[in-house]
Structure 1
Amino acid sequence: MTNSLFASYDLNGIKLPNRMVMAPMTRCRTNQPGNIPNDLMATYYAQRASSGLIISEATQISSTGQGYSFTPGIHSDEQIAGWRKVTKAVHDAGGRIFLQLWHVGRMSHESFHADGKPIAPSALSPDAQVWVVDPQTGQGGMVDCTLPRAMTLSDIAQVIGEFRQGAANAIAAGFDGVEIHGANGYLVDQFLRSTSNHRDDAYGGSPEKRVRFLKEVCEAVADEIGAERTGIRLAPFITQRNMNDPAIIDTILLAAREIENIGLAYIHLSEADWDDAPVIPDQFRKDLRTVYSGAIIVAGKYTKQRGETILSAGGADLVAYGRPFIANPDLVDRFQNDLPLDDLDGATLFGGDGKGYIDYEPARTL
């Protein structure tokens, strides 16, 4: 079946052996100081190289783009060198991997900023928390985000340039492409929503102006490395982090038209995945297909059956799996052969060593 999870897919010349994508997941395992990817991370990603495509954990494009402790960067020579270990390990294992480019905006803490102020479209709190390690104790925990300052036009131009450079650095590090993180309440998403963007200049007010930052970031990255190697993640239906904009769907569809014009390889939908999350309306999926002709990836508590169903219905071309890939590095084999799934150890999600990271065993020896 061509619409099966296990059918191949041509992503603009990148041959994917199946339609199962490993979703980006923050794990906070970098070497310190410097947020440098390491051998442990190379092993982790290589173990999961049987997925059709790996999208890396979110990776900050600059030091001011950081919001969580120990997350990797893509803005220093040491980070690029560290990521080369990861991409080589994945490619040696037969896999394909994109880097997710990230700027957290207001989802940050004062400890990551020289002046103690994160940057955002407007000086509005997300009323949320981020994971920060206490330098005195070495223990990580959730802490309240710091009130940001509103970005100047100079700040905006600088960050767009950082996205461009981050994409260039990713290709230099051996990645097959990049995904712009435009979802889940981070900086690009903050510009899109009237609840987080109260600007009255060229980047705020009307939906067209709120989409401008996303458009210029996508143009910069596509110009640098090629639209065919660039995707973007969007989250139309999230409401947490003070992002509950009642008009966001129309804004997302407007953004999708711009993404179509630029020619990005895919749109990756981060769908609400909490227990009482709203069902994604079929009309939205149809409307998105109307305005965007590239590949669509969906993510959000998909099972094997739900994945097959949405592929068959034409609502997606690829299905991303997050937490199931943590405890089941051989998830493709388990799905294909109806093998039982292991449960992850939630206590080892963020930070630490190889425990709960690279010590999950495959179901069988292939």
Structure 2
Amino acid sequence: MKYQKLFQQYKLNGIQLENRFLMAPMTRSRASQPGDIPNALMAEYYAQRSSAGIIITEAAQISQQGKGYARTPGIYSAEQIKGWKLTTDAVHKKGSKIFLQLWHVGRISSSKVNGLQPLAPSALTAQNTSVYIFDGAPNGDATFVPVEEPREMTKTEIDTVIKQFVQGAENAIEAGFDGVEIHGANGYLIDQFLRSNSNKRTDEYGGTMENRIRLLIEISGAVANAIGKEKTGIRLSPFISFKDMNDPEILETIMLAAAELSKLDVAYIHLCEADWDDAPQIPIDFRVKLRDIFKNTIIATGNKTPDEGENLLEDNLVDLIGFGRNFLTNPDYPARVKQNFSLNKISDNHTLFGGGEARGYTDYPFF
């Protein structure tokens, strides 16, 4: 078989995976309204893709305040927990594992989405950044609106967010998930605290790199204590600077955070890597250094081909390979890789954030 490593079983801190394909988190905006409730259509979508060794769901907001885009699912109400049980039951019946991604978007939001002024480490608006709503546009399209000026978080609000991440993690376990992934990437709240250009605080959560990683480490430690370190993963994006997140200190900051996360013995670090055509490549020396600093599982996601993924696994630079769009359009993606079958393409970009329909969501064919 060509891809020996990709199809090899793997133990993720005691959780047995049937292969090293990871279905990456992708926001699809199909939650039922009102209440941002996961539904049977979402369960069907994830169950179709359960030949992945592990699935990381789309991000679920830990509170109404943490919501940044329309129709994204939550994990803070009893109805949301009940709705997610449909997904976990369906995926487990197919023999896969599934983690829930937890997020708070921070300043990447608008009152048009959640009715609230955004919160952030500092009162700095993300430039040239938009979120989306559904306002009756043709074809059910999402309508993009600019983010609004955030309010600087108080210490009480920071404490509240930590507790909300913990409650979200506990709710996820109640809903049947095998673990959670804390979203610390892509310009959202935790990433905003990590970066010197978006975090201008002068208290214990700002200034030095040690202070800027504090929120990430406190949330990670609190979640690990609540549900188990083997069920706690972290997503980071050191080489991604969109959403006005260009910080010259971020690589050093990420390495400092990785050392602290290793001390916490969390299950994994999931690198969200740039996936556009001319995106910067992650230097090998960064991967080698991260492997040396962080002792547990490392995941790489970012438009990898199976060959690229296999090479990273063979070189022992990462342990799992995340695939996003290929799973979106090919529910049987691992089988297609094994058999060298052609891949489905995105049928209609209008359906990426398509509201409540199955079209472009659960209707992609199996080979």
TM-score range, shorter chain: over 0.9
Give the TM-score normalised by structure 1: 0.97
Give the match for residue 119 of structure 1: 119
Between 155-164 and 137-146, report the one with greater CA deviation.
137-146
Cα distance, 1:276 vs. partner?
1.6
Q: Distance in 2 between matches of 1:140 and 1:250?
A: 37
Question: Is 1:122–1:197's contact at 8 Å kept on the other side of the alignment?
Answer: yes
Q: Deviations over 1:25-70 (max 9, x none)?
A: 0000011000000000010000000100000000000010000000
Whether 1:33 and 2:37 are equivalent positions in the alignment is: no
One-letter code aligned to 2:65: T
One-letter code aligned to 1:80: I
Whether 1:243 and 2:226 are equivalent positions in the alignment is: no
One-letter code aligned to 2:107: R
Q: Distance in 1 between matches of 2:34 and 2:254?
A: 38
Give the TM-score normalised by structure 2: 0.96
Question: Is 1:197–1:210's contact at 8 Å kept on the other side of the alignment?
Answer: yes
Q: Deviations over 1:66-109 (max 9, x none)?
A: 00000000000000000001100111111110000010000101
Give the match for residue 84 of structure 1: 85
Whether 1:362 and 2:363 are equivalent positions in the alignment is: no
One-letter code aligned to 2:363: D
Q: Distance in 1 between matches of 2:124 and 2:240?
A: 18
Cα distance, 1:337 vs. partner?
1.2
Give the SS at the match of 2:8: coil
Whether 1:209 and 2:224 are equivalent positions in the alignment is: no
Give the match for residue 11 of structure 2: 10
Question: Is 1:27–1:57's contact at 8 Å kept on the other side of the alignment?
Answer: yes
Cα distance, 1:322 vs. partner?
0.2
Give the match for residue 182 of structure 1: 184
Cα distance, 1:351 vs. partner?
2.2
One-letter code aligned to 2:262: E
Gaps of 5+ in 2: none
Give the SS at the match of 1:6: coil
Name the CA shift for 1:281/1:139 in 2 (closer, same or farther; >3 Å).
closer
Cα distance, 1:139 vs. partner?
5.1
Identity of aligned residues (%): 54
Q: Deviations over 1:203-243 (max 9, x none)?
A: 00000000000000001100110011000000000111111
Cα distance, 1:136 vs. partner?
9.3
Between 138-147 and 310-319, report the one with greater CA deviation.
138-147
What is the correspondence of 1:122-133 to structure 2 with a 5 Å cutoff?
Answer: 122-127=122-127, 128-133=129-134
Q: Distance in 2 between matches of 1:91 and 1:68?
A: 28
Give the SS at the match of 1:65: coil
One-letter code aligned to 2:351: T
Q: Distance in 2 between matches of 1:104 and 1:98?
A: 19
What is the correspondence of 1:70-81 to structure 2 with a 5 Å cutoff?
Answer: 70-81=71-82
Q: Distance in 2 between matches of 1:29 and 1:113?
A: 16
Cα distance, 1:140 vs. partner?
2.3
Superposition misfits of 4+ residues, deviation over 4 angstroms: 135-139
Question: Is 2:29–2:353's contact at 8 Å kept on the other side of the alignment?
Answer: yes
Q: Distance in 2 between matches of 1:357 and 1:179?
A: 23
Gaps of 5+ in 1: none
